[in-house]
Amino acid sequence: MTEAASRSRSTRGRSLWRLSAQRLMRNPGAVTGMVVLGVLVAASVLAPWLTSFDPIALAPRDRLQPPGGAHWFGTDAFGRDIFTRVVYGGRTSLQIGFVAVTISTLIGVTLGLVAGYFGGTVDQIASRIVDVMLAFPGLLLALAIVAILGPNLLNAMIAVGISASPNYARVTRGAVLQAKELAFVEAAQQSGARTWRILVLHVLPNVLGPIVVIATLGVANAIIAGAALSFLGLGAEPPTPEWGLMLSDGRAYLRHAWWITTFPGLAIMVTVLAINLVGDGLRDALDPRMTR
Amino acid sequence: MNRRLRSLAALLTILALVPAALAQTVTYGMGGNFDQVDPNLTTFTRVGRITLHVVEPLVWQTSPGEFAPGLATAWSVNDDATEYTFQLREGVTFHDGTPFNAEAVKFTFDRIVDPDMKAQTALSLIGPYEGTEVVGEYEVKVLFSQPFAPFLDSASAPNLAIISPAAYEAAGEDAWGMDALVGTGPFEFVSYTPDSEVVLQRNEAYDWAPEFMDASGPAAIERIVYKIIPEPSTRTASLETAETDIIEEVAEIDFGFLEERDDIRTVAEPQSGSGWSLMMNREQSPTDELAVRRAIQLGSDREGMTLAIWNGLGQAACGPISAVTFGFDPSTCDTYRYDPEAARQVLEEAGWVDEDGDGIRERDGTPLTIGHYYRAESALSQQMADYMKADLAAIGIDVELNGLSRSGYFDAVRASEHNTQNWWDPFADPSGMRILFHSENAGGGTNRNNYRDAEMDALLERGAATSDPQARAEIYAQVQQKVKDEAVMVFYNDPATLYAWTPDLEGVRFFGAGQYAYFYPATLD
Amino acid sequence: MFQYIVRRIVAALPTLVLITMLAFSMLHLVPGDPAEIFLGENKSSPELLAQVRSDMGLDRPLHVQYLGFLGDMLRGDLGTSLNNGRSVVREIATRLPSTVELTLAALGISIVLGVGLGVLSAVRHNTWVDSAAMFVALLGVSMPVFWSSLLLIFFFSVKLQWFPAIGQGGIERLVLPAVALGLLSSATLARLVRSSMLDVLSQDYVRTAVAKGVRPRAVTFRHALKNALVPAITVIGIQFGQLLSGTVITETIFARLGIGRYYVDSLLNKDFPVVQALTLLIATAYVVINLLVDLSYSLLDPRIRYD
């Protein structure tokens, strides 16, 4: 890497982030995504004010009402208002995404940092661990973890987080290896700065870019993985309004009461699409090679 | 060009013949998996559905309490129901050519009680079995250490159907039920592919159909293929795409629509035995308290549940046995009906009051919380748990749901960690209630109520020992009333067994209150 | 080349051993007793449980059980299923072909879709075609597989009667499940192909070729694609894991025999021999696929060599 390039990386000042932010804003897909996500977050926060029904209370005589009238999205088999449950479900989905991604990041980035920076045996061991985890297909690993911890929403989030972490480790390690080559890092090492300072102040920021991208996409993957676990009965427990659980519970009614699956399903789709658009936009914006 | 045309013609001819060959194959869509195709050792009713075509019982139960000759042509019971003598049908051969005789009956029954075999359902059905005496080549005497009135009912179940000793010895225990099963039935076992299918083939030598069947000689159907289709909507779809001819365990929501169609036949056979219910553990607080159990009993909206979960099919349960079971006491329908107000009253009087206004009652600082355990992978269990939680929240009880994977579930409930769990048991004879209420089954067994009551034990034992149907019915009426008075369990729904099939398939008979779909007398166009 | 392969295999062996150890320990951590699961809801006594447990070999100390498994495995004996007593090898052999054909078909669909959409996107970069193609690619990722599977069955099986809904064997039974699975993984591939093609297209030698008068079409497909495929191939290794996860669901819904379903059921039943054997199988497949992927790099990019 040239001197100029390494300097521009180390001048971690406003310029790089501002440039990326500008690029992001010029990407119509990413902007749409962010708007949609903004609406989602707002709706989740304002849920009690936006909805008039109890998301959990039963009303069996009102069951299977099609959309219309008081029930904008209709009611499910237990008579619960679907619009209310979809809005509250947004909260749960955000929780799932956040918890899962936090865990993935904590585990993955730590492993990757340590492996990439220290190299040698440490790298060998850490990479081995990552390899072993990668050889277990994601859902199966998450499944095993949920089986051990017990099927409930929190454990499902933890399981999804753990099973997604190897990828974070790999990406981090790659970024760290790249960063190690940079002149300023060598300079810091030679000047005797303490390891953790180097890691946190110099190496970590370079890793941040790729991690932000996969973390963003990770939220989407967590929501989908949560839905898969719900299908197997090992995800969110009833009566939690969670989109994946609503979709799974409602699948027997796919043909006869289409609204029970369609609305939570669309909620998942729209959210995941928005997240992906934002994630892709972030990737494009943070990529130094893109000059457009 | 010419060559191509010829091969095309050949292909078309073959294809034209294929439907004709397949026309006599009944494809049955099965609701789930099972362990092995061994009628005597299995715990799955599904397996009985299949094996009833390969093995035959001594007697057939044509309607509750009515028995017709099967492999036994005549029978007599001694006065105290400790000895059953059967005259066996002559001229019957097993699929391996060996003759059916008294030795085979003795062999089958002795094997069931052999502890190495770990037979479960059959073991409990065979009761206080002591041994079988081979009186003559075609006469056996089955002996019991105590009076056992329900034996004919047991003998009519596929779990006690007769297998070929020679074939069993030849195949060995490992292969039996997996690759080999030999009986006297109108169909022979061909293969079992776990998770996938069981294939049966017509027995061309079958000549001993019971008289009441109204059919004789080999079956009209050539092959039966039981395909395992776990996903309910796919099962329904398979019937609509004609990939199956008949399906079981139709999803309740699909059933209504299939019923309305002219091109599909349906049946909803009310089940006998105990329906979907809630067991309440006496060994855990607070379900050890009558007031709490009574409140749960009064606070469970059975009608609402039947509507919401079972789509209105079956009917709201009245007591421990369903309405079609022999000995059902209709008065149980009028006692302890859904009354949330009364439920709240009961709790108030017992000192459970909501002091802090959070919707949950407390007493001396302890909140009224019960731990409900259920199998997380079962959609039905999830729904019952969901509904129950909401029902009880309305009367101030907090339900902690513990959805566990199969492995964790058995761990917990056998160790009596639960306050409540669900149960379902489609037995035919009311003596089956001992599974639920007899003290011998408490403490890790099937009586997860851990209900130990000397009076109940005595009633159940007398019921099994009494031969006179009227007297038996009276005893069992007392059992049912006692169960409700003491709020031992809560009963949600008496289900209906749901089948749907193509009109091309005719003559299917249902035995065991709909549990067994029988294809011997059936024809397929 | 040969030495390289051998070295890779040898290096992978400790990983495989570690994986089986991980699977073994994890399975032991799952709550529940296989003996109790086997006996199910029915009446049991402590003696019966003890007997079943000893029949299953579960009363031996853990390390003995694990070493026993390793030893047997080296002799080619993968044990018998705790659930039904059949040989594990036989059980896996019955189910493996169906999963393999499903995974390959899904991979094929995902490659066709992914590469197709990715190339289309890159060539028409920054136009509505770009956005539309990416949108379609993303659809697969944004729908839970069980939902898309059920919708496919409803529309193409029940309504249109074009394809059967259940079972395995034959291409017609493969289409719907493979599409459901293939849609899932095509997004990642599409994205990757798109970005690596954009990279290549912007590189100097491509611009030179265009400036020299080589037709844009020829440039795209001959030069750019080949090099752009290198990072795309990497993804295929990862896709394999994702596809296998997906088979768990599609096999259940389409009532197909398969390893995915078998894995989940055995895990929940704590059927140790089966889970061990399957973990080993899947991990080995993963190692082999990654090896093949790495080897294929040298085919695609003459600059990459192994010695």
Whether residue A12 is predicted with pLDDT greater than 60 in this model: the reply is no
Residue among A137, A255, A270 whose CB faces C241 most closely? A137
Mark residue B359 as left, alpha or beta (left: phi above 0; alpha: psi -120 to 50; beta: remaining).
Answer: left
Instruction: Name the band, by pLDDT with cuts 50, 70 and 90, for residue A124.
Output: confident
Q: Which of A58, A146, A237 sits opposite B387 (nearest CB)?
A: A58
B227 closest CB neighbour out of C45, C83, C166? C166
Mean pLDDT of all residues belonging to chain B: 91
Contacts of A256 in chain B (CB under 8 A): 253-254, 257
User: Which of B124, B234, B406 lies at the smallest CB-CB distance from C268?
Assistant: B406
Chain C residue with minimum CA distance to A164: C242
Chain C residue closest in CA terms to A256: C154
Please check whether residue C82 lies inside any domain of the structure.
no
* Cα distance between residue B488 and residue B450, in whole Å: 10
CB of C155 less than 8 A from some CB of A? no
Closest C-alpha among B222, B127, B111, B201 to residue B163: B111
Q: What is the DSSP string of B393-447?
A: HTTT-EEEEEEE-HHHHHHHHHTT--SEEEEEE--SSGGGGHHHH-GGG-SSSS-
How many residue pairs from chains B and C have C-beta atoms closer than 8 A? 127
Q: Is the pLDDT of residue A8 over 50?
A: no
The residue with greater pLDDT, B254 or B13, is B254
pLDDT in tens, B333-355: 999 999 999 999 999 999 999 88
Residues C125 and C241 in one domain: yes
Q: Which residues of A touch B309 (CB under 8 A)?
A: 77
Q: Which of A27, A37, A121, A132 to mutate to test the interface with C (most CBs of C within 10 A)?
A: A132
Q: Is B455 exposed, middle or buried (0-12, 13-18, 19+ CB in 10 A)?
A: exposed
- Mutation to test the A interface, candidates C138, C272, C275, most A Cβ within 10 Å: C138
- Alpha carbon C256 to its chain centroid, in Å, reads 16
SS (H, E, C) A90-134: HHHHHHHHHHHHHHHHHHHHHHHHHHHHHCHHHHHHHHHHHHHHH
Residue C272 pLDDT > 50, yes or no? Answer: yes
Instruction: Give pLDDT tens digits for B241-272.
Output: 999 999 999 999 999 999 999 999 999 999 99
Contacts of A254 in chain C (CB under 8 A): 150-151, 154
The reply to whether C103 and C73 lie within a common domain is: no
CB contact under 8 A, B407 and C34: yes
- pLDDT-derived band at A211 (thresholds 50, 70, 90) equals confident
> C22: which DSSP letter?
H
Q: Which pLDDT band holds residue B14 (cuts at 50, 70, 90)? A: low
Q: Check whether residue C270 and residue C214 sit in a common domain.
A: yes
> What is residue A171's predicted lDDT score, i.e. its pLDDT?
85
Q: Which residues of C touch B191 (CB under 8 A)?
A: none
Residue of chain A whose alpha carbon sits nearest to that of C239: A137
pLDDT at residue C37 in the model: 77
- Tokens representing A262 are 């369609």
What is the rounded average pLDDT of the residues A133-158? Answer: 88
Determine the pLDDT at residue C206: 62
- For residue C127, the model assigns a pLDDT of 77
pLDDT tier at B159 (50, 70, 90 boundaries)?
very high
Q: Does residue C19 belong to any structural domain of this protein?
A: no
| Domain co-membership, C60 together with C134 | no
* pLDDT over 90 at A26, yes or no: no
Chains with 3 or more CB pairs under 8 A to chain A = B, C
C1 lies in a domain? no
Using an 8 Å CB-CB cutoff, list chain A residues near C287. 135
Q: Is B360 helix (H, G, I), strand (E, B) or coil?
A: coil
**A14 C-beta neighbours (distance < 10 Å), count:** 9
Residue B22 clears pLDDT 60, i.e. is over it: no
Q: Backbone phi, then psi, for C199, in 5-degree steps?
A: -55, -55
How far is the CA of A130 from the CAs of A115, A158, A172, A212, B389, in angstroms?
Answer: 10, 17, 12, 20, 42
Q: Are residues C72 and C43 in the same domain?
A: yes
Q: Out of C77, C108, C134, pick the residue that ends a domain.
A: C77
- Which residues in chain B touch residue A249, judged by CB atoms under 8 angstroms apart? 379, 382-383
pLDDT band (50, 70, 90) for residue A104? very high
Nearest CA in chain C to A279: C191
Where is average pLDDT lowest: B287-301, C62-76, C84-98? Answer: C62-76
Residue of B nearest to A153 (CA): B403
Given CB atoms, is A272 within the 8 Å cutoff of chain C? Answer: yes
Which residues from chain B sit within 8 angstroms of residue A152, using beta carbons? 403
Nearest to B54 by CA among B183, B221, B242: B183
ipTM here: 0.84
Judged by CB atoms within 8 Å, which residues 69-88 of A form the interface with C?
none
- Cβ-count burial C71-100 (b if 16+ within 10 Å, e if not): eebeeeebbbbbbbbbebeebbebbbebbe
Residue with tokens 């609402």, as numbered in its chain: B304
Q: Which residues contact B254 (CB under 8 A, 6 or more apart)?
A: A252, A255, A256, B232, B233, B236, B500
Mean pLDDT for C205-224 is 65
Position B238 pLDDT exceeds 90: yes
Contact status of C205 with chain A (Cβ, < 8 Å): no
Q: Do B241 and C85 touch (CB under 8 A)?
A: no
B76 interfaces chain C, CB cutoff of 8 Å: no
* Mean pLDDT of the region C65-73: 80
Q: Which residues pair with B278 in a beta bridge?
A: B422, B490
SS3 B369: strand
CA distance C12 to chain B (A): 33
Q: Are residues C64 and C107 part of one domain?
A: no
pLDDT of residue C303: 62
- How many helices, marked H, and strands, marked E, lie in chain B? 16, 25
Q: Which residues neighbour B397 within 8 Å (Cβ) at sequence distance 6 or greater? A: B292, B295, B296, B299, B347, B360, B361, B368, B369, B370
Query: Does C24 reach chain A within 8 Å, measured CB to CB?
Result: no
List the single range of B262-276, C111-125, C259-273, C286-300 with lowest mean pLDDT. C286-300
Quick one: pLDDT at residue C115? 85
Question: Does residue C6 lie in a domain region?
Answer: no
A38-42, B138-142, B161-165, C67-71: range with lowest mean pLDDT:
C67-71
pLDDT value at C167 more than 80: yes
Q: Give mean pLDDT, residues B138-162.
A: 94
Q: Does B97 touch chain C (CB under 8 A)?
A: no
Instruction: Give backbone dihedrals phi and psi of A150, rounded to 5 degrees, phi first.
Output: 105, 135
Which of B231, B226, B230 lies closest to B245 in space, CA to CA?
B226
Tell me the average pLDDT of chain C.
Answer: 82
B251 touches chain A (CB under 8 A): yes
Phi-psi label, residue C193: left if phi above 0, alpha if psi -120 to 50, beta otherwise:
alpha
Chain A contact for C288, CB < 8 A?
A: no
Please name the residue of chain B whose CA is at the shortest distance from the CA of residue A232.
B377
Distance CA A16, CA A286 (A): 9
What pLDDT is stored for residue A184 in this prediction? Answer: 64
Q: What is the pLDDT of residue A11?
A: 46
Alpha-carbon distances of A41 from A36, A89, A94, A236, rounded to whole Å: 9, 11, 8, 20
> C242 to chain A: nearest residue by CA?
A137
The SS3 of residue C146 is helix
- Mean pLDDT over C170-178 rounds to 93
Does the CB of B160 have a partner CB in chain C at under 8 Å?
no
**CB within 8 Å: C167 and B243:** yes
Same domain, C59 and C195: no
Cβ-based contacts of C18 with chain A (< 8 Å): 128, 132
Residue of chain C with shortest Cα separation from B445? C43
Q: Which chains touch B (3 or more CB pairs under 8 A)?
A: A, C
One domain for residues C169 and C59: no
Tokens of A57: 């209370």
Q: How confident is the model at residue C71 (pLDDT cuts 50, 70, 90)?
A: confident
In this structure, are C70 and C211 located in the same domain?
A: no
* Whether A257 and B401 lie within 8 Å, measured CB to CB: no
C129 and C275 co-located in one domain:
yes
C123: helix, strand or coil: helix
Residues C144 and C208 in one domain: yes
Q: Is the CB of residue C241 less than 8 Å away from at least one CB of chain A? A: yes
Q: In sequence order, what DSSP letters do the residues of chain A get, joined into one string? A: --HHHHHHHH--SHHHHHHHHHHHHT-HHHHHHHHHHHHHHHHHHTHHHH--S-SS---GGGTTPPSBTTBTT-B-TT--BHHHHHHHHHHHHHHHHHHHHHHHHHHHHHHHHHHHHH-HHHHHHHHHHHHHHHTS-HHHHHHHHHHHH-SSHHHHHHHHHHHHHHHHHHHHHHHHHHHHTSHHHHHHHHTT--HHHIIIIIIHHHHHHHHHHHHHHHHHHHHHHHHHHHHTT-SSPTT---HHHHHHHGGGGTTTSTHHHHHHHHHHHHHHHHHHHHHHHHHHHH-TT---
Please answer yes or no on whether B389 and A238 come within 8 Å at the CB atom. yes
Q: What is the predicted pLDDT for the residue at B207?
A: 92
Q: Furthest-apart CA pair in chain A: how many Å?
A: 75
List the single residue in C31, C41, C51 with the smallest CB-CB distance to B408: C31
- Domain coverage including residue C219: 96-300
Nearest to B404 among A56, A79, A151 (CB): A151
Q: Which token pair is B359?
A: 């919707």
Mean pLDDT of B403-432: 87
State the CATH number of the domain containing residue C273: 1.10.3720.10
Residue C295 lies in a domain: yes
- What the block records as the tokens of A61 is 């005589």
Residue of C nearest to A130 (CA): C15
Distance in Å, alpha carbon of C267 to nearest chain B alpha carbon: 9
Looking at the structure of chain C, the number of domains it has is 2
Least confident range of B331-335, C180-184, C225-229? C225-229
Pick the more confident residue, A93 or A178.
A93
Interchain CB contact of A70 with B (< 8 Å): no
Distance from CA of A81 to the nearest CA of C (A): 21
The helix (H) or strand (E) run that includes residue B246 is strand B246-247
Mean of the pLDDT values across residues C214-232?
65
Contact B482, B436 (CB under 8 A): no
* Predicted confidence (pLDDT) per residue in A239-252, tens digit: 889 999 999 999 98
Per-residue pLDDT, averaged over C240-249, amounts to: 87
Q: How far apart are CA A258 and CA A253, in angstroms?
A: 7
pLDDT above 70 as % of chain B = 96
- Residue C38 belongs to a domain: yes
Tell if the CB–CB gap between C165 and B237 is shorter than 8 Å.
Answer: yes
Q: Residues B26-48: what's their mean pLDDT?
A: 91
- Can you tell me the mean pLDDT for B304-310? 92
- C279 found inside a domain: yes
How much is the pLDDT for C9? Answer: 82
3-class secondary structure, B499: strand
Mean pLDDT lowest for which of A1-10, B179-188, B348-357?
A1-10
**Minimum Cα–Cα distance from B306: chain A residue:** A60
pLDDT at C217: 62
pLDDT greater than 90 at residue C24: no
Q: Is-contact C166 B227, C-beta < 8 A?
A: yes
Instruction: Return mean pLDDT, chain A.
Output: 83
Judge whether A66 is closer than 8 Å to chain B, CB to CB.
no
Burial of B116-138, coded b for 16+ CB within 10 Å and e otherwise, reads ebbbbbbbbbbbebeebeeeeeb
CB of B273 within 8 A of CB of B428?
yes
Residues C139 and C45 in one domain: no
Q: Is residue C11 part of a domain?
A: no
Domains, chain A: 3-285 (1.10.3720.10)
